[in-house]
């Protein structure tokens, strides 16, 4: 994931979690990359991405709406970063 894409996703997640209003939606490609880092490979279409987001939400106890909102993106970003850390160790 590019640094720009990562910062976009992190900014969206942080803004939504700490209540800075309604953040813009994250870039779908960034969400795809984060899901792929967690071995949840979404397909190329929008429906496949929605289903992958819904599966991630089910795994993490979030509301399963298939929308990559602030809480979902926050957890995606956090778990992907943790995985990168543990794989590097």
Residue 3 reports pLDDT greater than 70: no
Residue 2 reports pLDDT greater than 90: no
* Residue bearing the bigger pLDDT, 34 or 9: 34
Residue 12 reports pLDDT greater than 70: no
> What are the tens digits of pLDDT across the range 24-68?
567 898 899 999 999 998 888 999 999 999 999 999 999 999 999
What is the model's pLDDT at position 20? 46
Q: Which two tokens stand for residue 56?
A: 């991630």
* Structure-derived torsion over alpha carbons of residues 59, 61, 62, 65, reported in degrees to the nearest 10: 60
* Separation of alpha carbons 18 and 31, rounded Å: 20
Who's near 75: CB < 8 A, 6+ residues apart? 56, 60, 62
């Amino acid at each position: 994931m590019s640094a720009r894409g990562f910062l976009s996703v992190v900014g969206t997640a942080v803004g939504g979690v700490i209540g800075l209003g309604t953040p813009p939606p994250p870039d779908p490609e960034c969400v795809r990359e984060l899901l792929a880092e967690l071995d949840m490979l979404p397909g190329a279409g929008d429906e496949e991405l929605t289903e992958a987001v819904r599966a991630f939400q089910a795994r993490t106890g979030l509301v399963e709406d298939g929308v990559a909102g602030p809480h979902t993106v926050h957890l995606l970003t956090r778990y992907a970063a943790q995985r990168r850390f543990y794989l590097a160790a």
